[in-house]
Amino acid sequence: MSGISTMDLFAGGGGMSLGFSNAGFRVVAAYDNWMPAINFYRRNITGHPIHRFDLSDADGLVESTALRPDLIIGGPPCQDFSSAGKRNENLGRADLTRSFAAIVSGLRPSFFVMENVDRALKSRALAEAMQVFRDAGYGLTVKVLDASLCGVPQQRKRLFVIGEMGGQDGFLDARLESGLADRSMTLREHFGDRLGLEHYYRHPRSYARRGIFSIDEPSPTVRGVNRPLPAGYPGHAGDTCPVHSSVRPLTTKERSLVQTFPEQFILEGNKTELEQIIGNAVPVKLAEYVAKCLSGHITAIGFQTAQQTLAAQRMDVLGTGVQARIQI
């Protein structure tokens, strides 16, 4: 897939970029508008630029970029849809889903991949975005995937809308389904004994939910906040061990590894910002799973990039010229 030029929108910490790069796609540019995430990305992912750009200005990006990628990927901010957020589309961030659709419609790549929380399926913004995609000529695959079945030790359900210009609806369904694991990956399977613990604390949104988990199960969704075990935590019937002083939350580094970022990634800067970057990221292995499915489809249909087509045309012209000289 080295010829498939790829642009990453709302790139954040780079989970999508890295996953698609690992699957062989050629990321040529990334865009975001939050400097802590941009700095994180620049520190850890090289070989192409990440630009600061307000992606709510879809027309501005379409008009200003000379790039015409084969593939656009990205995860517009999901807080207005998320169960951890306010679930209010009128707060403005849902508009970024529409912006993603407008950019895709304007640049018209052969393929796109958009990620969001599964709750977005019920949103007006997603329905409008999907109509924009269809009006632009895309066939759509719409699939909710559990990251724990895709090589990530974390139960994290995420929606993927995948488009192919001129394709059929559901074109990637079978590949996305056939490669899933039979059961969820646990933290122990991912880390072995490296964590040095059997149980850990993950702060619940309310004490009606449990807060202590075992490494013999997948992690719950890594969120953008990470708090220590409070003195007032009352315990919960679902906790995997009693409350005691040795139970701790996962560290920022450990949480990045649960998100399947590489061990060598450098985590520097404000801890609150780092936790948010990590929690908001698309897990690398989840992105890689989707990328490999798309790669298989692209290979199967014999897709040629614009560069490959141009090279073939040049060879045809060269061959014709050589043949003409021989005939003369």
Cβ contact 198:242 at 8 Å: no
Give ∠ CA 254-259-262 in degrees, rounded to 5: 75
What pLDDT shows up at residue 3? 86
What pLDDT shows up at residue 326? 40
Taking alpha carbons only, the member of 66, 186, 209 closest to residue 49 is 66
Cβ contact 166:111 at 8 Å: no
What pLDDT shows up at residue 309? 67
Give the number of other CB atoms < 10 A from CB of residue 41.
Answer: 23
Report field, pTM of the whole predicted structure over 0.95: no
What pLDDT shows up at residue 173? 98
What pLDDT shows up at residue 327? 47
Cβ contact 161:144 at 8 Å: no
Q: Which fold has domain 5-183+280-313?
A: Rossmann fold (3.40.50)
Cα→Cα distances 132→9, 59, 108, 109, 286, Å? 17, 14, 12, 14, 26
> How far apart are alpha carbons 125 and 149 in whole angstroms?
28
Element (H, E) at 116: strand 111-117
SS3 259: coil
Cβ contact 183:153 at 8 Å: no
> How far apart are alpha carbons 216 and 198 in whole angstroms?
8
Active-site positions read: 78
User: pLDDT 10s digit of each residue in the chain, 328 long?
Assistant: 668 999 999 999 999 999 999 999 999 999 999 999 999 999 999 999 999 999 999 999 999 999 999 999 999 996 554 555 555 555 545 689 999 999 999 999 999 999 999 999 999 999 999 999 999 999 999 999 999 999 999 999 999 999 999 999 999 999 999 999 999 999 999 999 999 999 999 999 999 999 999 999 999 999 999 999 999 899 999 999 999 989 999 999 999 999 999 999 999 999 999 999 999 999 999 999 999 999 999 999 999 886 776 666 666 655 655 444 444 3
DSSP class of 121: G
Give me the residue spans of the domains in the chain: 5-183+280-313
What pLDDT shows up at residue 2? 64
Residues 224, 230, 235, 240: what is their CA dihedral angle, to the nearest 10 degrees?
A: 60
> How far apart are alpha carbons 3 and 307 in whole angstroms?
8
What pLDDT shows up at residue 317? 58
